[in-house]
Amino acid sequence: MTSDRDAKFMHAALAEAEKGVARTSPNPAVGAVLVIDNQIVAKGHHREAGRPHAEIECLRDFGTPVPPRSTLYITLEPCSTFGRTGACTDAIISARIRNVVIGAADINPRHCGRGIVQLRKAGVTVREGVLAEECTRLNEAFNKWIVTGRPFVIAKCGMSLDGRLTRTFGEPRWITGGTARHHAHALRARVDAVLVGAETVRVDNPRLTVRGVHRARQPWRIVLTRSGRLRRRAHLFSDRFAARTLIYQQKPLASVLKDLGKRSITSVLIEGGGEVLGEALDNRLIDKVQIYLGPILTGGPVIAFPGRGTNKTADALQLRDVRYQTIGQTVCITGYPDVMESI
């Protein structure tokens, strides 16, 4: 059973971990807080790959010898091996910390369970599984990539009530409101790459950058094309982030995702168009959907998820953990497919 006290401090550690989301890739986002006499006295989070891990940042934040009555809360099992940084288990043991509370186990085969074993062998009291679901969900992209070698795929689009991606005539072309579009930019800020088809580039000339989000890291831009005929003056190939644009010609989506995983891209946001979204749906490549539903009816031929479709409702992709959020006049719907090419 998770006590209210443990939940309170693990929530604080999760808030620290959130600061590193997308910045730490291909490492997981991790947060830590040090608690003495029921008060948080130090905090830390992993800032980016190659820099100190959350536990080390937290201990440095405290800056003085840790008293025996202290407890260290960590969202993820501490690493027990040397990489670009030292083993966090060694640092915890050297600091003479006697009590550690862990949110989720590290599913990385190099680390899984070993950190907990090392700490306990050194006489550290370890409690694990506190807010495990929340701590695991925080690193859903890393978890899939580390086990399968393929990125976590989010299918995102803004569509009308009748399932269309764009208006058929006139301007403006936006289906969703400005607040919802800002919300979508925040989603871009949390992924390693944004992927679209060539037709989206030709028709919309998108930038696929993160705008209006403080200190956001710009994602890779991925373009799928059959013919290779793309306007070189398009934003993706001519702006200051042009070096972060990758083009795949005559490659199925599944093979593209496999290659992106080899490039240490752990998460991909598919933003369109309908043909790419349909291919992702048909081949069950989607790990999460995030749909912005605008309050309009457009009609027209540009369907959000065309593809081959299914002959029976029973064969359709069912979603679990579905959430609905109202953003202005737009409804944001998120969910996870029950059957995924995932862990």
Confidence (pLDDT) at 111:
78
Map tokens 């997308």 to a residue. Answer: 22
pLDDT of 169 above 70: no
Report which DSSP code applies to 303. B
For residues 299-319, give the mean pLDDT: 88
For residues 309-333, give the mean pLDDT: 92
Whole-prediction pTM: 0.91
When the pLDDT of each residue in the chain is averaged and rounded to a whole number, the result is 92
Per cent of the chain over pLDDT 90 is: 78
For residues 146-161, give the mean pLDDT: 95
Residues 6+ apart with CB under 8 A from 302: 164, 165, 166, 168, 273, 274
Residues 6+ apart with CB under 8 A from 122: 89, 93
Which residues carry out catalysis?
55
Confidence (pLDDT) at 167:
54
**Helix 253-262 to helix 274-282 angle, to the nearest 10 degrees?**
90
Instruction: Name the more confident of 273 and 81.
Output: 273
For residue 86, name the pLDDT band (cuts at 50, 70, 90). confident
Instruction: Report the distance separating Cα 135 and Cα 42, nearest Å.
Output: 20
Instruction: Name the more confident of 22 and 283.
Output: 283
- The string of DSSP letters for 92-124 reads HHHTT--EEEEEE----TTTTTHHHHHHHHTT-
pLDDT of 150 above 70: yes
Q: Which of 56-60, 172-176, 315-319 has the highest mean pLDDT?
A: 56-60
Q: Taking the CB of residue 100, how many other CB atoms lie within 10 A of it?
A: 25
Instruction: Report the distance separating Cα 274 and Cα 29, nearest Å.
Output: 32
Beginning with the edge strand found earlier in the chain, give each strand of the sheet holding 330-337 in spatial order. Answer: 245-249, 220-225, 193-197, 267-272, 152-159, 288-293, 330-337, 319-327
pLDDT of 320 above 80: yes
Confidence (pLDDT) at 172:
52
Q: Taking the CB of residue 72, how many other CB atoms lie within 10 A of it?
A: 29
Tens digits of residue pLDDT in 197-251: 999 999 889 999 999 887 788 999 999 999 999 999 999 999 999 999 999 999 9
CA distances from 137 to 8, 14, 336 (A): 18, 11, 12
Confidence (pLDDT) at 141:
97
Whether the CB-CB separation of 160 and 294 falls below 8 Å is answered with yes
Instruction: Report the distance separating Cα 144 and Cα 150, nearest Å.
Output: 7
For residue 301, name the pLDDT band (cuts at 50, 70, 90). confident
DSSP lists the bridge partners of residue 272 as: 196
Pairing mode, if any, of strands 245-249 and 220-225? parallel
Q: Which of 38-52, 82-96, 295-309 has the highest mean pLDDT?
A: 38-52
For residue 175, name the pLDDT band (cuts at 50, 70, 90). confident
Cis peptide before 109 (omega within 30 of 0): no
- The string of DSSP letters for 319-333 reads EEEEEEEEETTEEEE
Question: What three-state secondary structure class fits 259?
Answer: helix
Map tokens 């010898």 to a residue. Answer: 65
Tokens standing for residue 223: 């373009």
Question: What three-state secondary structure class fits 143?
Answer: helix
For residue 339, name the pLDDT band (cuts at 50, 70, 90). low
